[in-house]
Amino acid sequence: MIRIIAILGGLFFAVAAFWALGVGAYTAMTVETEETVEHEFYVHPKDVSFSSDGPLGTYDRAQLQRGLKVYQEVCAACHGMKFVAFRDLGALGYTEPEVAAIASQFQVPGVDPTTGEPVLRPAVATDYMVGPYPNDIAAAAANNNAIPPDLSLMTKARHDGSAYVYSLLSGYGPIPAELKAAYPDFETPQGLYFNQYFHNLNIAMAPPLTAAGQVTYSDGTDATISQMSKDVTAFMTWSAEPKLEQRRQTGFVFIGFLIFATILAYMSKKQVWAGAKPKKRKD
Ligand code: HEC
């Protein structure tokens, strides 16, 4: 009796599963989903490579320094990098006095020593690279109601990380004619900017890098829009994972040790069992 019930129960679930599969497949084949402009014209990040890619990749210090310069001269007007302290910039190859000099070019909130009033003061090495706005309300008010996000961890916070950030920065452009033809009603609202790499095609950030030579590189690199985008993205990749090189190094040493330990274990097993004869099986 129990057996019959069990079989019937199993049969019931099997039929239900097949039924659901059938209905799902039929729906997927027959229902027409309306194509949206975002789905049709959003563009996946460009194929771009950085020296830190791959298991053996390392940061290009000169590029990180250029990226810092782009951040400092362009992005810092709106974005903070609150998880990066100026002293961390030593990892980009700067000496202590150089770090202090860079820090002193940034303003951070402080207190007037005589009146106790809040003021802005030049940063020192131990300060963090905070954003320019005292709070989110001020940030939103100054940017058409959109808050410029902190950039310290941005390359970790978006799908396709560095490639996405690079594509976004270098991807502003006019609305393509095909889009206008397919969606005549589409328009970029006042205060937003068309960018095919942004998920809804309209971003509240005005194109930050608009002209070649906007930043003057001291190492003579040609400051094209693409180059500046790439350098600042490399800098953000570093800020999101400053210990990347050490992590990989430790990983390689560890794997080397594991291989060594495995060989050792195999050899000692051989040694320990060398004298033992295989038992004769009785059957
Ligand atoms: C005039 C102010 C301003 C400047 C300068 C600026 N940004 Fe932005 N940025 C914004 C605002 C506002 C947003 C929010 C946009 C939104 O959500 O629509 C934003 C968003 C972003 C985002 C996040 C996009 C996303 O996927 O949510 C990144 C990355 C970014 N900015 C990078 C940069 C970099 C790098 C620079 C310097 C080259 C820079 N920004 C310069 C205002 C600015």
State pLDDT tens for residues 201-246.
999 999 999 999 999 999 999 999 999 999 999 999 999 999 999 9
Give the residue-averaged pLDDT of 41-47.
Answer: 95
Q: How far is CA 240 from the centre of its chain?
A: 7
Q: According to the CATH classification, is domain 39-80+131-244 in 1.10.760.10? A: yes
Distance in angstroms (rounded) separating the CA atoms of residues 87 and 127: 8
> Is the CB of residue 160 below 6 angstroms from any atom belonging to ligand 1?
no
> Is the CB of residue 70 below 6 angstroms from any atom belonging to ligand 1?
yes
E-strand ranges in the chain read: 81-85, 107-111, 118-122, 128-129, 193-194, 202-203
User: Which run of H or of E encompasses 156?
Assistant: helix 154-157
Residue 93: band (very low, low, confident or very high) from pLDDT cuts 50, 70, 90: very high
Average pLDDT, the chain: 94
pLDDT > 80? residue 282: no
In this structure, are residues 223 and 216 in contact, taking their beta carbons and an 8 Å threshold? yes
Which among 185, 5, 168, 181 has a CA at the least distance from the CA of 75? 168
Task: Give me ligand 1 centre to Cα 193, in Å.
Answer: 11
This prediction has a pTM of 0.86
| Residue having the nearest C-alpha atom to atom 39 of ligand 1 | 75
Quote the pLDDT of residue 35.
Answer: 83
Task: Give me ligand 1 centre to Cα 192, in Å.
Answer: 12
Ligand 1 atom at minimal distance to the Cα of residue 204? 18
- The CA–CA distances, whole Å, from 22 to 18, 27, 28, 32, 67 equal 6, 9, 10, 17, 54
Task: Give me ligand 1 centre to Cα 16, in Å.
Answer: 50
- Kindly report, residue by residue over 135-150, the tens digit of the pLDDT: 999 999 999 899 999 9
Domain ranges of the chain: 39-80+131-244
For strand 81-85 and strand 128-129, is the pairing parallel, antiparallel, or unpaired?
Answer: antiparallel
In this structure, are residues 45 and 197 in contact, taking their beta carbons and an 8 Å threshold? yes
